[in-house]
Structure 1
Amino acid sequence: MLKVLIADDEEKICQLIEKLIDWQALDMKLCGVANNGIEALEKIEALSPDVVITDIRMPGYDGLDLVKKTRELNVGVEFVIISGYRHFEYAQTAIKYGVSDYLLKPIKKQELTETLEKIRVRYNEKSEQLTYEERVRLARKSDAERLRTTWFSNVLYRDRSEQDCSSLEEINKQYYYQLKPGYFQIVCVKFDGISMPDEKNLEFLTEKTTQIAEQMLKGHVFDWELYVENSHIYLFLNYGEENRRLIRRQCKNILNELAVLESILEGLRVTIGFGTTVWNITQLRSSLKSARYLVEQRLVAGNGKLLEGELRSSFHLASSQWFTQFNQNMSTALESLDRQQVGDCLMKLKDGLLEQPDMTGHEILQMCREVCNLYLFFMKNHKIPIEQNFMERFNQGVEFCSSAREVLRYLIKEISASYDKAVVGKMQENNRPIRIAKKYIRDHYREAITLETVSEVAGFNPTYFSSLFKKETGKNFLEFLSEVRMEQAKGLLKESNLSVAVICEEVGYSDVKYFTKNFTKYSGLKPNEYRKLYS
């Protein structure tokens, strides 16, 4: 039998927990009660309980201190934390310490019983105290869960045609479902306000969602399954037509129960996308699509809601004249290698998108991905290296944005950071091609060289090279070529007796009048005047 210690400074709470649970049915026994943290730690050392149910706020040591000091003793105790207040920091730390569960007052018998039952099964698995029948049952359950999850993940990720060939009988037989003719539906639960790398929080939320969904759906559906994808949790439901309204109500109750967790995890917001119902299992992906679109709609409709219904947009942004103009402006800005100009262009995009009427959350995300693709295409086309995982990182990060404004800020941040890094690298890399171009011009100024010729030598297309050359030298190609020729002409006028016509040809000009005009503009003197003054 597992030994349980209760720690709470309220005697009535201790008595309530003691009477609330059928300890014998769980193969557990109460070994002691403590009314403060110091006494609780002493009893943990003296009685070696397997499970401690403790309030988070107590005299002496609070619940977290108790967990920490017990961990320092290297004692394998499972903790269940109970709290009646909004202790965000306490909750975060408790989850970080790996407590078995974090329950809010008032304590619910079913919730606490399920938590203790999971602890019992986990303990027996670790200590190999399961009976043969229990081991067989758990092994079968594990196999069935794996197969059921495999089928559901195929629905989420594989091509639709791969799903259309399966009948209910085949799915039931191969994947351990108990599906029946009726309604099929995907419901998506989305968590916002949690940190990207915080796996402990996601594990906690997944376990809570599973518990709550089990409570709300049991007895109302033929079968159901759950699949976790980062901050999304997908529910697959199969139920009878008569329960359609009831299921919606129960999903609303799931949302309300999950909203209670906002008292535990600061900033947490929960949204549910209530996908369309379908009669045929082969149409399940249409329900999945609508659930995903509805969850994306929280970006404009706000989170903390159950979103449902058809989503239609009267404004197709990607094909609009407004977005075409943005593409042109963005390409020009990127080509200029001017980070400020790129930033200004992205800010105008943000402001423009937020002003668009009838815009859907899905459209916002698609537009942002279009902008990312435009950015990647331009950088690749101009041979400017950037991070290989740029798009993957953007898609992961944007999942944790909870509003249209936040999504657009994230887009600007990611592109700006990537572009800044790329421009610095490109500037360093560009010094060499510009040096090559300058040397080529100085070596071949007598010839009829063109921008296209020098661009090819430098390894760039003419448009990009022209912009780069201007940025690096402060002069355009023709200005630089003219400067080189004029300096050579000066030298010949001072150091030789060659005629102006010959010098004109020597420095790459075929028209004496045009040469004289350019020389006068460059030096302020006509060629003959310059010779008289400086020779």
Structure 2
Amino acid sequence: MWGGRMEQNALRVIIVDDEIHICQLLRKIIRWDSLNMKCIGVFDNSIKALDFIRNNQPEIVLTDIRMPQLSGLELIKKVRNLKITTEFIVISGYKEFEYAHQALQYGVRSYILKPVNEDELNSELEAIGKRIRISSNEVRRTQELQQEVDKSKRIIRDDLLKQILDGQVDEKNIESEISIHGDCYQVYDIKLDYMDYKKFDTKQDKITTEKVMEIIESRLKETVNEILMTVREDLHIYCLVNYNYGETREIPHLLNALLVELDDYLIGFEQYVVTIGAGREVESFSDIKYSVTGAYRAVCNRLRFGTERLISEAEIDVSDVKVVDRIMDRHRSTLIAFYNNYESGLLAADIEGMFQELLAEKKIDMTLCYKLMEQTVYLLLGPSEPNSEKYHYFINILHCAQHCHHIDDMVLLIKNALITYVDGLREAAEQRISKPVMEAQRYVDEHFREKIVLEKVADMVGLHPIYLSTVFKKEIGMNFSEYIVETRINEAKKLLVNTNETIFAIAEEVGYKDSKYFSQLFRKIVGVKPAIYRRLNS
């Protein structure tokens, strides 16, 4: 170590003189500790000193004015040409005073005549040190202030883009906030997907999205007039740019280069994949909403084209948006029936069939897959009370689906999620019904075509008939005889609609020998006669 014990912010000093003993003398008489400085180099060769200054940029250089190969004046000139802000103290004899005076044009304010006086040298170093530290503090305060200003501007600009995305700002109010002097606007949806949607890390998400936004701004800022960015749910990073016609051809190349840079950054995490969706180029501020929609549509079509690529809105097929409504109309009643009857396997098969119908269309915008997914999940799990378990399950499916980057993954997600939920409902329902009641209920379901006697069933399940009747009504919501009638009538309804059997035959099929009594009972419960019910539902 060249000096004594120093603080971490000690100023770094080098000494340059072609006479090494002069260098050693100067190093010895400088009061390093009290000045809070340290010597990081002594050179008797000015060319080597220049190379050291270039690589290390010390705060202070003490240099002789006359040296072979490269004079002190030439050394100062070359350092200034390198834009290095090192302070110089020039040491000269009376004969070289005019040379020292010339150094003033390079911003040198300190020179000392030989022979060097110890007090004078340390006093000059102290003055330079104060000047450097004051300047450094001012620069630091200016930088901190600028960082705060930039941070505030970024918050305002990000909020502005949120307002644009939500349709809450107009062209008249935006001109004072951003530069919109370019001819074109375009919106990009930079979508980060989890490689595994079951594994996520919100803390890492924040770090990653901030870095991705830095990369986007660094890559685009030299070409476009204005960049606005904001992060939306499910790691959609929206970017609005404003640029001139002259840059139109450059934009796709910039986006592809941006994609490569983002891939290089994300590959180290082994956690995310990225896709860029580019909306249409628009000329009017009021048309930005169309570019927003197009960017989202483009990103959704990674389900077809794959991730880690740029997808343009122009590549997307124009689909019949009503196809989803037609599919839902065909499947709504069966979906609800399978859900209510806890038939999870049939429910999953029906959902898979719906997506197969959608994908069988000649032209399909994959955005419709998200629409079908959302409507299906909403039909079965929504609406529900916010903060309820059902609501959170519903929201979680939607969020996970936004990270599925292949259609098979999305369908599998929905099927598995609903199977798990419906099976849970069934298990909970079964736990609410005691075993004897379940056995009595199962017996009726299997033997309703026969004559059923309460006493016989009670004996079978090991309960007194009166007690069985009581707990049956408490747990099922109706008494034992009512449950028998309801089971028979429900079966009769199916036979009336799905078969051509006579009313008499159907009555016998469900356990009634007297068809007239059956018809009267059916009308009492259903509200219409069996024949009329058949006509209304066939």
Deviations 1:487-534 (A, max 9, x none): xxxxxxxxxxxxxxxxxxxxxx9x89979xxxxxxxxxxxxxxxxxxx
Letter in 2 for 1:301: F
Q: Does 1:317 align with 2:318?
A: no
Shift of the 476–297 alpha-carbon distance from structure 1 to 2, 3 Å rule, reads: farther
Is the 2:194–2:200 contact (alpha carbons within 8 Å) kept by the matching residues of 1? no
Letter in 2 for 1:132: R
Distance 2:374 2:221 in 1: 40
* Offset, 1:276: 1.1
- What does 1:360-399 align with in structure 2 at a 5 Å threshold? 360-376=365-381, 387-399=390-402
**SS state at 1:144 partner:** helix
Question: Quick one: which of 143, 146, 158 aligns to 1:149?
Answer: 158
* Offset, 1:187: 0.7
Question: Quick one: which of 272, 281, 284 aligns to 2:285?
Answer: 281
The equivalent residue for 2:222 is 219
Is the 1:386–1:418 contact (alpha carbons within 8 Å) kept by the matching residues of 2? no
- What does 1:153-302 align with in structure 2 at a 5 Å threshold? 153-156=162-165, 158=166, 160=167, 162-164=168-170, 166-167=171-172, 170-173=173-176, 175=177, 177-194=178-195, 196-229=199-232, 230-261=234-265, 263-266=267-270, 268-302=272-306
Gaps of 5+ in 2: 1-7, 11-50, 60-136, 442-452, 455-472, 490-511, 519-538
Shift of the 145–361 alpha-carbon distance from structure 1 to 2, 3 Å rule, reads: same
Letter in 2 for 1:239: Y
The equivalent residue for 1:343 is 348
* Offset, 1:182: 1.6
Deviations 1:363-405 (A, max 9, x none): 000001111122135x979xxx961223321221111111111
The equivalent residue for 1:104 is none
Letter in 1 for 2:145: V
Shift of the 409–272 alpha-carbon distance from structure 1 to 2, 3 Å rule, reads: same
Letter in 1 for 2:156: L
The equivalent residue for 2:91 is none
Is the 1:180–1:222 contact (alpha carbons within 8 Å) kept by the matching residues of 2? yes
**SS state at 2:280 partner:** coil
Is the 1:300–1:360 contact (alpha carbons within 8 Å) kept by the matching residues of 2? no
Letter in 1 for 2:368: E
Shift of the 227–514 alpha-carbon distance from structure 1 to 2, 3 Å rule, reads: closer
The equivalent residue for 1:402 is 405
Letter in 2 for 1:221: V
The equivalent residue for 1:38 is none
Distance 2:279 2:311 in 1: 9
Q: Does 1:139 align with 2:153?
A: no
Deviations 1:400-434 (A, max 9, x none): 111111111111122222222222223344669x8
Distance 1:213 1:362 in 2: 25
Is the 2:185–2:240 contact (alpha carbons within 8 Å) kept by the matching residues of 1? yes
Deviations 1:183-239 (A, max 9, x none): 111111112244552235434532442343233212211111221234221111011
Shift of the 142–318 alpha-carbon distance from structure 1 to 2, 3 Å rule, reads: same
Distance 2:515 2:309 in 1: 79
Is the 1:297–1:362 contact (alpha carbons within 8 Å) kept by the matching residues of 2? yes
Distance 1:203 1:22 in 2: 36
Letter in 2 for 1:317: V
Letter in 2 for 1:375: L
* Offset, 1:246: 0.9
Question: Quick one: which of 482, 486, 492 aligns to 1:477?
Answer: 486
Is the 2:189–2:239 contact (alpha carbons within 8 Å) kept by the matching residues of 1? yes
* Offset, 1:355: 4.0
Shift of the 142–208 alpha-carbon distance from structure 1 to 2, 3 Å rule, reads: closer
The equivalent residue for 1:519 is none
The equivalent residue for 2:124 is none
* Offset, 1:24: 4.5
Q: Does 1:305 align with 2:298?
A: no
Shift of the 479–210 alpha-carbon distance from structure 1 to 2, 3 Å rule, reads: closer
Distance 2:247 2:361 in 1: 39
* Offset, 1:352: 3.9
Distance 2:285 2:202 in 1: 33
Q: For structure 1, which segment, 288-297 or 368-377, has the greater mean C-alpha deviation from structure 2 after superposition?
A: 368-377
Shift of the 313–430 alpha-carbon distance from structure 1 to 2, 3 Å rule, reads: farther
Distance 1:254 1:469 in 2: 71
Shift of the 201–131 alpha-carbon distance from structure 1 to 2, 3 Å rule, reads: closer
Shift of the 459–130 alpha-carbon distance from structure 1 to 2, 3 Å rule, reads: farther
Distance 2:55 2:188 in 1: 34
- Aligned pair count reads 334
Letter in 2 for 1:424: E
Shift of the 478–253 alpha-carbon distance from structure 1 to 2, 3 Å rule, reads: closer
Deviations 1:330-377 (A, max 9, x none): 122223232333233233334444444422221000001111122135
Letter in 2 for 1:417: T
TM-score, structure 1 normalization: 0.53
Q: Does 1:415 align with 2:424?
A: no
Structure possessing the higher radius of gyration over alpha carbons: 2
Shift of the 220–513 alpha-carbon distance from structure 1 to 2, 3 Å rule, reads: closer
Distance 1:185 1:513 in 2: 74
Distance 1:260 1:135 in 2: 31
* Offset, 1:137: 1.5
Distance 1:155 1:512 in 2: 69
Q: Percent identity?
A: 18
Shift of the 380–144 alpha-carbon distance from structure 1 to 2, 3 Å rule, reads: closer
Is the 1:194–1:201 contact (alpha carbons within 8 Å) kept by the matching residues of 2? no
Shift of the 145–268 alpha-carbon distance from structure 1 to 2, 3 Å rule, reads: closer
Distance 2:480 2:331 in 1: 25
Q: For structure 1, which segment, 309-318 or 277-286, has the greater mean C-alpha deviation from structure 2 after superposition?
A: 309-318
